[in-house]
Amino acid sequence: MAIKKEKLKTYAQFLLENIQQHRMTDLSAQSAYFLILALFPFIVVVFNLLTMFAADHIDKILSFLSVLPEETVNAIEPIIYSIINSNSAGIISVSVIVAFWSSSKGVNSIIRAMNIAFGVENDKSFIRVQLKSLLFTFLLLLLIFAVLASLVFGDVILKSIESLFSFTLDSPARLLFNAIRFAIPIAGMILGFSFLFKRGPDFEKEERIATKSAVIGGVMATIGWMIISLAYSFYVSNISNMSVTYGPLVGIMALFIWLNLSSLALLFTSEFVALYDRCIVKKLPIQKDRIPGAVQYY
């Protein structure tokens, strides 16, 4: 259904107003801080598990880091190789506990910021908050391994199927298989973001957004994140000279800025989804909330 030009202008005005009044740029920086604290222990868990189950494919897995700025890769790679060279069950057991606790801080900061975007109160139950954080951390881990399985082990899976059933795919079928392989990570990201929009904020039952709104948000967040990541990687690698400003800290700063921009894309999308769900899907009026000049969606 077409939206009148006047209404579209009003919605855009409220969207920009809320982004400013809800201080989304400040919240994205806060989220990036907690995410960078969570990232390194999370890397420890992921690569300890990979060395256990996919040691022969580590080099191929590391090749996917090329999507990140070179300075960021240089900061992460020594940690990864240290994990690979000192793999032990003791490290795994300790790092799992540390990573999940640290990751819960990052997830909590994202959820708190999304609560502000959707105009809902933070859940006051410590147990529910921690369980939700652990759930999303676990789902993120599953998503990472699903993506790696499709990209890294796709050829292995195909050869195993051909060997098992004694046939060989022709060129069109192989092309289709490879297209599906590379579509799986994108579909996984859309599904993950959609679930985050649907179940991440501390909605009461009657406040939950429509599935349609969550899926639109998932598509927007995925596209936005991909554009930001590729553009930022190109900028840092080909235009910016961050090493002059940050010196030996350039890798960490490049990573922090990337996480900040990624958080910003997610929170901006949250603001859009909140407005879209209330005004377009549910056809409810816009109301002012407790934050002067901002909009209460629920």
pLDDT digits (tens, 9 = 90+) for 112-167: 888 888 888 877 777 888 788 878 877 877 777 676 666 666 666 666 666 666 66
Between 12-16, 53-57, 76-80, 183-187, the lowest mean confidence (pLDDT) is in 53-57
pLDDT class of 240 with cuts at 50, 70, 90: low
Residue type, 255: L
Residue with tokens 């990570």: 185
Domain positions in the chain: 12-296
pLDDT class of 259 with cuts at 50, 70, 90: confident
pTM to 2 decimal places: 0.75
pLDDT in tens, 84-114: 676 555 555 565 666 667 667 777 888 888 8
Residue with tokens 């999507």: 67
Query: How many CA atoms within 13 Å lie on the side-chain side of 26?
Result: 8
User: Which residues touch 198 (CB under 8 Å, ≥6 apart)?
Assistant: 208, 209, 211, 214
Residue with tokens 């009461």: 204
Q: What are the start-end ranges of the H helices in the chain?
A: 5-21, 24-53, 58-62, 70-85, 89-118, 126-151, 154-165, 171-199, 211-238, 242-246, 250-276
pLDDT value for 221: 93
pLDDT class of 296 with cuts at 50, 70, 90: very low
Tokens of 18: 């809320």
For residue 277, pLDDT beyond 80: yes
Q: How many CB atoms lie within 10 A of CB 53?
A: 8
pLDDT in tens, 185-218: 888 889 989 999 998 888 887 778 999 999 999 9
Q: Pairing state of beta strands 295-296 and 287-288?
A: antiparallel
